[in-house]
Structure 1
Amino acid sequence: MNERSVKYSTFVIEKNYNASPERVFSAWSDPSAKARWFPKADEFDFRVGGREINRGGPPNGPIYTFDACYQEIVQDKRIVYAYTLDKGDSRMSVSVTTVEIKRSGSVTQLIYTEQGAFLDGHDTPEQREDGTKLMLDKLGVELQNE
């Protein structure tokens, strides 16, 4: 693609889970638990300054690389990370994500906020938001199965 462009976007997804904040946080912080609803990490170092890297894709297709660095972690309450998403050698996006976890009555509310720069038409904010909703639905299924 020769044309260079950037599209900025912020989206927020709110989900309620029938699980404690501790269980929801653990689903993000424990590598084996996270691998049940998010692609298995090639590298998983859940601490401030630590990285999570996932590589994969369809058979005979491009390799997608998710490369995150954790910026802030508040036990059972908040996770903030910056990440890039690449398709082969092409950078698709650069984002900052905040995951807030709060008790709300008898459920736990998760508020997922992503602020992204979507580059050169390789991805759109709408596609990313749709994919993230599917991912958070998988998290809900995992929490029900525990």
Structure 2
Amino acid sequence: MTPRTITHGSFTLERRYKATPARVYKALSDEASKQKWFTPPETWGKDEHKLDFRVGGIETSVGGPIGGPVHKFRAIYQDIVPNERIIYSYDMHLDDTRISVSLSSFEIRPDGDHTILVMNEHGAYLDGFAADGNDLRREGTGELLNKLGLYLEREGMN
């Protein structure tokens, strides 16, 4: 029998983007925009992504490494203040096993002709998936925020 455990972890990431708060918010909230940067690593197969961006709305992403476990992300939006704040709770599964439940918040703040994005996450890592869970989550989220920055740069040139 698998021992039932919970290990807690949290992290904060901050990025400064050369974009208005409205552009950063749109990149996080608009499905067509988000699909251009919220993408899996190159070693993964095709990712399925759906976004219903509203309080109570659900976002899902399903994919994974070719030949590896399927990663399933399912978020519920808890609070939205346009151009200022987004909060959602989500769980992650590997195949059919839930490995974590988390709360994520995004603060969007103007900074001259830039925007500061502060992302904070609190995670509960379940049943032995905690060894590197928080560090891996921080790393993966950081990579996604970097992709967001590249997307904003590209879109700012058009």
What's the TM-score, normalizing by structure 1?
0.94
Q: Is the 8 A contact 1:7 1:119 kept in 2?
A: yes
Greater Cα shift, 11-20 or 119-128: 119-128
Q: Matches of 2:117 and 2:36 in 1, distance apart?
A: 18
Gapped regions of structure 1 (runs ≥ 5): none
Amino acid at match of 2:117: L
In the TM superposition, residue 121 of structure 1 has moved relative to its aligned partner by 2.5
| 1:125 is the counterpart of 2:143 | no
Identity of paired residues, percent? 42
Assess if the C-alpha contact under 8 Å between 2:35 and 2:49 holds in 1.
no
Q: Which residue matches 2:62?
A: 55
Secondary structure of 1:46's counterpart equals coil
Which consecutive aligned stretches of 4+ in structure 1 deviate over 6 angstroms post-superposition? none
Aligned positions, number: 146
Give the TM-score normalised by structure 2: 0.87
Q: Give the Å deviation of 1:3.
A: 2.8
User: Do the aligned residues in 1 keep the contact of 2:77 with 2:87 (CA within 8 Å)?
Assistant: yes
| Pairwise CA RMSD | 1.4
Q: How does 1:24-63 map to 2 (within 5 A)?
A: 24-39=24-39, 42-63=49-70
Q: What SS class does the counterpart of residue 37 from structure 2 fall into?
A: coil
Query: Is the counterpart of residue 90 in structure 1 residue 97 in structure 2?
Result: yes
Distance apart, 1:42 and its partner CA: 3.5
The answer for the alignment partner of 2:5 in structure 1 is 5
SS of 1:42 mapped into structure 2: strand
How many Å apart are 1:41 and its aligned residue?
Answer: 5.0
